[in-house]
Chain A
Amino acid sequence: MTTATAPEQAAATDLDVPLLEVRQMVKDFPGTRALDHVDLTVRAGEIHALLGENGAGKSTIIKCICGAQSTTAGAVLIDGKPVSINSPQEAQAAGIAVVHQHGNLIASLSVAENLCLGEPLPRVGGVLVNWRALHRRARETLAAVDLKLDPGRLCGELRPDEQAMVTIARAVARKARLIILDEPTAALLPREVETLFAQMRLLAARGVAFLYVSHRLTEVFEIADRVTVLRDGRNAGSFDRATMDRRTVVSAIVGAETALRERHVAPVSEGPALLSVTDLRAPRVEGVSFDLRPGEVLGVAGLPGSGAEEVMNLLFGRSRAKAGKITLDGKPLRLRNPADAIRAGIALVPQDRLAEAVLHGYSVRENITLPSLSRFLRDPLMRFVHGGRERQAARDVVARMKVRTPGTETPIDALSGGNQQKAVLGRWLTTGARVFLLNSPTAAVDVGAKAEIYELIAELAASGAAVLFTSTEVEEFPVICGRVLVFAQGRIAGTLTGEQVTEANIMTIAAGESLEQD
Chain B
Amino acid sequence: MSKTDTTAPGLGFDLLSFLARYGTILSLIALIVFFSFMRPEVFATTRNMLNVLNQVSILGIIAIGLTVCLVIGQFDLSIGALATFGGYMAARFLMEIGPANGTPMVVAGVVLLVLGMAVIIGIINGALVSYLGISAIVETLAMSFIVTGAILGISRSRTISPVEIPDAFKIIGQGSIAGIPNPVLILIATAIILWLFLEHTQPGRNMYAIGGNKEASRLSGIPVKRYALVAMGICAACAALGGMVAAANLGAGRPQGVGDVYLLNAFVAVFIGASTLRPGKFHVLGTAVGVLMIGVINNGLSVMGVPSFWQFIVQGVLLILALISASMMTLRR
Residue positions of A touching B, CB distance < 8 A: 316, 318, 337-339, 341-343, 348, 350, 355-362, 366, 370-371, 373-374, 377, 382-385, 387, 413, 427
Contacts and interface: CB of A to CB of B under 8 A. Distances in A.
Contacts of A384: 196, 200-202
Contact of B213 (A341, A358, A373): A358
Interface residues of B, number: 23
A383 B230 CA distance: 15
Contacts, number: 74
Contacts of A370: 209, 216-217, 220, 222
A358 B333 CA distance: 15
B177 interface: no
B206 interface: yes
A338 B212 contact: no
Nearest to B206: A373
Contacts of A413: 333
B215 A385 contact: no
Contact of A383 (B201, B213, B215, B217): B201
Contacts of B222: 339, 370-371
A355 B221 contact: no
Contacts of A385: 200-202, 205
A32 B267 CA distance: 47
Nearest to A348: B219
Given A362-B208, A362-B212, A370-B209, A357 B202 contact: no
Contacts of B206: 373
Interface of B: 196, 200-203, 205-206, 208-209, 212-213, 215-223, 280-281, 333
Contact of B220 (A338, A360, A361, A387): A338
15 contacts: A337-B218, A338-B221, A342-B221, A357-B213, A359-B217, A360-B212, A361-B280, A362-B208, A366-B205, A366-B208, A370-B209, A371-B220, A371-B221, A373-B205, A383-B202
Contact of A318 (B200, B209, B216, B219): B219
Contacts of A341: 221
Given A370-B209, A384-B201, A385-B200, A338 B219 contact: yes
A383 B203 contact: yes
Given A337-B221, A385-B200, 20 more contacts: A316-B219, A337-B218, A337-B223, A338-B218, A350-B219, A357-B216, A357-B219, A359-B212, A359-B216, A360-B213, A362-B208, A362-B212, A366-B205, A366-B209, A370-B216, A371-B221, A371-B222, A373-B202, A387-B200, A427-B220
A429 B78 CA distance: 42
Nearest to B197: A382
B236 to A, nearest CB: 21
Nearest to A318: B219
A360 B220 CA distance: 15
B148 to A, nearest CB: 33
A219 B48 CA distance: 79
Nearest to B281: A361
Q: Which 6 pairs, one residue from A and one from B, show the smallest C-beta to C-beta distance? A: A371-B220, A339-B221, A342-B221, A359-B212, A383-B202, A373-B202
A371 B213 CA distance: 13
A374 B205 CA distance: 11
A382 B222 CA distance: 17
A16 B205 CA distance: 67
Contacts of A374: 202
A178 B217 CA distance: 44
Contacts of A355: 213, 215
Contacts of A342: 220-221
Contacts of B219: 316, 318, 338, 348, 350, 356-357
